[in-house]
Amino acid sequence: MNLSDEIRKLAAKKNAIILAHNYQSDEVQEIADFTGDSLELSRIAADNSANIIVFCGVHFMAESAAMLSPEKKVLLPDLAAGCPMADMADPHDLAEMKRQHPDATVVTYINSSAAVKALSDICCTSANAVKIVQKIDAKKILFVPDKNLGSYAQRFTDKEIILWDGFCPTHDCFTAQELAAVKREHPDAVAIVHPECRPEVVDIADEVLSTGGMVTFVKKTAHKKIIVGTERGMICKLRSVAPDKEYILASEKFYCPTMKKITLEKLYTSLATEEPVVTVPSDVAAKAVSCLNKMLELSR
């Protein structure tokens, strides 16, 4: 019996569910019970009868699952799987920024720590950031931590948006010149990029989409050749839902080393030992969940 079979057998024995983010390695996505974006997976975890959630993603994602499913044990197979962008927003710095802008509503990207969410007014995702910014009753917004996503949302509102100086290193390193070059090389392809990319990249993309939006797009589009401007793991997900298309990774730079820390070996060990467990202090969780729930209310 191979390792994948052993993992499935152990998961069934322990009534565990395996969740994998779209940016995980192909082998991890292929063994998962569900794949998707961070919020989608946390919702699946909360609505599932499993006793154990094995979250193959990064730390803030496991935190969200733990907050939304406090009665379940949430495992992150490698605690070193963090998010550099989430680390760019420190709760102490956010508290100071709030003091400087007491009239601003804090909109925080879900790619942030529970402690930062707890200091925020409302969360957003890459899929609903524009809608949240448009719908909240605020004239001034402090957008944390992704300046690129905040800049994208600014295109669709006249509200004042103060951008936190944070970014996703995997997306921010990709340039407009690189996208223009790959488009010239494949003139018959449509280029889709994530809104975590730089504004100048967004300017020349054909479509700007969250990971969930990309899944919907490739299912429906008549285009047969698609340039993908996000972390390379996404191509595994896209192929699984629309295998008739040709996918071209926009750049070899689209590689997140922390997303790739989780391996089948670490997944098996985590299931076997039921460690490491991710928890969130109850006082922090209560405030952070309120922030998440406000987002869900406005997203309807």
Write out residues in the chain with pLDDT < 50, as ranges: none
Q: What is the pLDDT of residue 28?
A: 97
State residue 237's pLDDT score.
Answer: 96
Report the relative pairing of strands 105-109 and 140-144 from DSSP bridges.
parallel
pLDDT given for residue 47 in this prediction: 87
Residue with token string 């997976």: 41
85-167 matches 3-82+259-279 in CATH topology: yes
Architecture of domain 3-82+259-279: 3-Layer(aba) Sandwich (3.40)
Tell me the domain boundaries of the chain: 3-82+259-279, 85-167, 174-249
pTM as predicted? 0.94
Structure tokens at 208: 């700007």
Tell which residue, 207, 182, 184, has the closest CA to residue 195. 207
Q: What is the pLDDT of residue 299?
A: 74
Q: For residue 279, with 0-12 CB atoms within 10 Å meaning exposed, 13-18 middle and 19 or more buried, which class applies?
A: middle
The answer to whether 45 and 21 have CB atoms below 8 angstroms apart is no
Q: Residues 6 or more apart from 287 whose CB is under 8 A from it?
A: 117, 118, 119
pLDDT tens digit string along 8-22? 999 999 999 999 999
Query: What one-character DSSP code corresponds to residue 251?
Result: -
Q: Write down the pLDDT at residue 39.
A: 77
Q: Are strands 225-229 and 160-163 parallel, antiparallel or unpaired?
A: unpaired
Question: How far is it, in rounded angstroms, from Cα 247 to Cα 82?
Answer: 28
CB 219 within 8 A of CB 192: no
Give the whole-angstrom CA distance, residue 158 versus residue 108.
19
* pLDDT at residue 1 in the model: 66
Q: What is the pLDDT of residue 61?
A: 93
Assign 168 to helix, strand or coil. coil
**Hey, which CATH number is domain 85-167, 3.30.365.10, 3.40.50.10800, 3.30.2310.20, 3.30.499.10?**
3.40.50.10800
Residue 20, pLDDT score: 96
For the chain, percent helix, then strand, then coil, each to nearest 5?
Answer: 45, 15, 40
What is the DSSP code (8-state) at residue 146? B
Fold of the domain built from segment(s) 174-249: Rossmann fold (3.40.50)
